[in-house]
A and B are shown apart, each in its own frame.
Chain A
Amino acid sequence: MEFTADIGLEVHVQLKTKSKMFTRAPYHYGAEPNTLTDPVVLALPGVLPVMNKEAVRKTVLLGLLCKCKIAERCKWDRKNYFYPDSPKNYQLSQYDQPICEGGEVEIEMLGASRNVMGEHRMVQLTRIHLEEDVGKLTHFANDSLVDYNRAGAPLCEIVTEPDMHNADEVFAFLTALRNNILAAGLSDCDMEKGQMRCDANISVRPKGQKELGVKVELKNMNTISGVRNAVAYEIKRQIHAVTSGEAIHQQTRRWDPSTQVTTKMRDKEESHDYRYFPEPDLMPVSIGKEQLKVLAKELPELPFDRQRRFMETLDLPYTLTSVLCPDKELADFFEEALEDTGGKVAPKAVANLIANDLLRELSGGEEEGRLPLSECKLAPAHIAELTLLVEDGVITKQIAQTIFTEMYATGKMPSTLVEEKGLQAHNDDGELESIVREVAADPKHEKAISQFKEGNTKAINSLIGPIMKATQGKADPRKIQEMLAKVLG
């Protein structure tokens, strides 16, 4: 029997704001425990929440980015439950009037190969709402410690429909969502720092059956590839259970990245009664049409839209755009460099330097993880000048490689390096001719030359190396070919 899996995600994204959601206490990662607090965070008697407008603004931007319907009026609700990580024992969230409803995120599935664009589709969203984060508990053998630094940090919760059907789609969704959020600068989405976390609801049903199967919730996964592995495992587990006649229970499970299996946390037989009610300490928020128009102007071009534009108007190949476009910084860098060339250089030449040479240097040979672009000494102008030097024949492509490494290390402009090191291309035809004649006169090339004269044009390739060496690599190989033909012809 064939099965269909239905997967819905709840993604928590911590918004990039200076202060917490309902107080001016700051939030950043890695501070000493319980130092980023104030009376409001600690829920002392008498404190009141005050809404962080920047967090609401960023949530509306995210909603616009995902083509959600933005509520004209939204309010805050209290979600009541006792837990030591929650200082008030209620969490401020949004229940029946979220800021954003509906919406969709474009994803790209894997193509047939690296060079081929995969299928694109939309994943439907249910809603996006804003809430405050809770604190962090660390458990020991006999004690538990609580750190309220994170408590109150603004979190966007993005809830999807059960609209994904395999682990690769989930991976594609999370990647696309993350790239979109990064492009708009709404969050850093650093999963290691807990800035993006994901719960997945997974069920399986026999292919063709309309109603969804019994759902299992996977909690708190914190890497995108971890989510992919967990979802893949859970689908297999559920299909195996069903085919061997077991019932699936509605439950919450946890993914263990070290053993790569999911294990039961709790059965979810009784649903929690959160006793939601409207937060009386906060006024509802109105978001006007005019405000939306202003905010819409702040939206960046989405990565996939940019990729299509690069392919269509700049004639870049898919492979290059799929390297440049998911990373807004990199794509911006490329566009700026291209503009700096004043249209004299083919976009592909500029893109190649960035996608190949620059990224290679930034990754320092590592497979994953690389230096952020902001920490590198190169500006788009470096790339632009380098491509122009090649284009104008001032230097050869080979020399350009040498210069790239040097300018990456020093941050010096390529023209400076060319001058300092005398790397100009060998353009003196007379001198080149005398070198060619000298090499051709060498008796060890006699055989090759005679073969060439007999009509084997490739025979003289063995002469190019020594000529290059004699010119210190500054001669254009094409020119050497021409010169050889002339001298020997």
Chain B
Amino acid sequence: MSDIIHQTAAQLSQALASKAVSAVEVAQAFIDRAEAVEARVKAFNSRDAEWTLAQAKASDERRAAGGAAGPLDGVPVALKDILAVKDQPLTCSSRMLENFVSPYDAHVTELLKAQGAVLWGRLNMDEFAMGSSTENSAFHTSSNPWNLDCVPGGSSGGSAACVAALEAPLSIGSDTGGSIRQPAAFCGVVGLKPTYGLVSRYGLAAFASSLDQIGPFARTVEDAALLLQAIAGHDRRDSTSYKTKLPDYRAALTEKEGPWTIGVPKECFAEGLDPEIKAAVEDAIAFYEKDGHTVKEVSLPMTEYAIPTYYILATAEASSNLARYDGIRYTHRSKNAKDAVDLYFKSRAEGFGPEVKRRIILGTYVLSSGYYDAYYLRAQKIRTLIREEFMQVFESVDTILTPTTPTPSFKRGEKADPLAMYLNDIYTINVNLAGLPGISVPCGFTSGKLPIGLQLIGKPFAEDELLAVAHRYEQAHEWKDAVAEL
């Protein structure tokens, strides 16, 4: 079989099943592709080709014995360097964990292994998932395959770039405020943030526990459905994990046909939205109308408060979650410390990058006595209002449609002001605050040949319907066939 890297995961799955191709051939093709383009894309923090080929070999043996473990058996999946994989590095793109090798598997990792997926490489990210451009990685900045001078987005920039650069058919990212959807939009791939609680967070190094969610990257909605099916489901080790019978996400793509009522929040077309993105999103709205669905203007006035609310809650949780990286047990330990207290100060000062420090300090501040009520408690209340506002809108619509980002990808180093960078998440952040599922699908290109993303937001645990709505759009457009030239 030629041209392995251009195949979707669904196509590879079929080819593997019919034995038109072996898992080793598939793995080798992506390993070779990475060899060829990684110097330019830099999506990975580390690649372990030997380990990956060994898994592929095991997959072929399994299949030869007549026992494929599932549709993903033999399909390579690359993981963001924030998920624990036994005996593999887990760096979170931080000096703090530069030499840390995980002694255990995340729940998602276990599921993927059990289903025969061939795990491949550790993907670059913003340090501890804090950022919107992957420029906060302690190791190197990844590039946007569509324009190597531009950022792939963040924090799952490596996860988006590796799929866009055809270095893996599938990858896993994590999304705390848009960290899957925003890089998916920047890199012209599909990225899904599932409902909070649908995918176990056990083994995901925590940034903000109440917002973090693991999700798939793929080139098509169908592939995203395939990967979601593999990683969703209850896990007793995550108390926030939801007990539910999973729908067949892939079958839902064609079984669910609508017509749907699609809500478009009027706040989405406010100041700061790039005109080319606005036009592309309006085209998408027109498509749904023409396709027989109802488009309805809705209002989410609390959106205005989403960014400050997010940065209070997320940093508060992060300041506590990141306290374990202290130089005592398994992290970077300063060689210059005079005593125990100094060991904390120096190890953390040397181990964390500026953005992480900024957020820890902010989070420590908003939790400190005397400020808790004014910041944290108030933010919690606003969060409840945001969730209620969404649920109210969902009483009259099936799906909400917005742009994924206000602007397309930007040049590396272009946004030096952290506050300006925070605005990049304006359309994605309230989805995390409300715990809802959201997907970004490609919906065109700017005149500068940079991808544009369309965000669809679903009701809690209605990923089946959300994927169907996205699939409908995707199938009627050719964006999915566009490949970055490298």
Contacts and interface: CB of A to CB of B under 8 A. Distances in A.
B354 interface: no
A282 B201 CA distance: 12
A281 interface: yes
B323 A88 contact: yes
Given A80-B367, A82-B344, A282-B239, A277 B320 contact: yes
Given A82-B323, A90-B320, A144-B340, A46 B239 contact: no
B84 interface: yes
Contacts of B236: 50
A87 B329 contact: yes
A48 B202 contact: yes
B323 A46 contact: no
A275 B369 contact: yes
A44 interface: yes
A44 B239 contact: no
B323 A44 contact: no
Nearest to B210: A280
A317 interface: no
B328 A84 contact: yes
B221 interface: no
Interface string A265-283: 0000000010111001111
B205 to A, nearest CB: 4
Given A39-B104, A82-B344, A281-B240, A48 B201 contact: yes
B209 A44 contact: no
A248 B395 CA distance: 64
A45 B240 contact: no
Contact of B324 (A48, A87, A277, A281): A87
Contacts of B83: 46
A272 to B, nearest CB: 10
B480 to A, nearest CB: 33
A422 B330 CA distance: 73
B-side interface size class: 35 or more
* Candidate in B102, B209, B320, B372 with the most chain A CB atoms within 10 angstroms: B320
Nearest to B241: A48
Interface string B81-118: 01110000010100001001011101000000000000
Nearest to A146: B328
Nearest to A279: B209
Interface in B333-380: 340, 344, 364, 367-369, 372, 376
Given A44-B84, A277-B367, A280-B209, A78 B320 contact: yes
A468 interface: no
A394 B408 CA distance: 103
A45 B97 contact: yes
B368 A275 contact: yes
A12 to B, nearest CB: 23
A434 interface: no
A43 interface: yes
B372 A49 contact: no
Given A273-B368, A277-B367, A48 B323 contact: no
B203 A46 contact: yes
B202 A275 contact: no
Contacts of B329: 42-43, 87
B324 A280 contact: no
Nearest to A85: B328
Interface string B21-56: 000000000000000000000000000000000000
Contacts of B478: none
Contact of B92 (A45, A80, A89): A45
A333 B368 CA distance: 55
Contact of A50 (B103, B104, B239, B340): B239
A273 to B, nearest CB: 5
A89 B369 contact: no
A280 B316 CA distance: 11
B239 A283 contact: yes
B323 A277 contact: no
A400 B135 CA distance: 89
Nearest to A283: B239
Contacts of B328: 84, 146
Contacts of B167: none
B108 to A, nearest CB: 10
B198 interface: no
Contact of A88 (B103, B324, B344, B372): B324
Contacts of A49: 239
Contacts of B330: 42, 44
A275 B364 contact: yes
B206 interface: yes
A297 B368 CA distance: 43
A311 interface: no
B239 A51 contact: yes
A346 to B, nearest CB: 56
B456 interface: no
A299 interface: no
A46 B84 contact: yes
A89 B368 CA distance: 16
B19 interface: no
Given A42-B330, A44-B102, A275-B319, 11 more contacts: A42-B329, A45-B84, A45-B90, A46-B102, A46-B204, A48-B237, A49-B239, A50-B237, A84-B328, A277-B320, A283-B239
19 contacts: A43-B324, A44-B330, A45-B82, A45-B97, A45-B100, A45-B102, A45-B206, A46-B201, A46-B205, A48-B202, A48-B237, A78-B320, A80-B323, A87-B329, A88-B323, A90-B323, A275-B368, A276-B367, A281-B239
Interface of B: 82-84, 90, 92, 97, 100, 102-104, 106, 201-206, 208-210, 236-240, 316-317, 319-320, 323-324, 326, 328-330, 340, 344, 364, 367-369, 372, 376
Listed from nearest, the 7 A-B pairs whose CB atoms lie closest are A89-B323, A45-B205, A280-B210, A280-B209, A275-B367, A46-B203, A43-B324
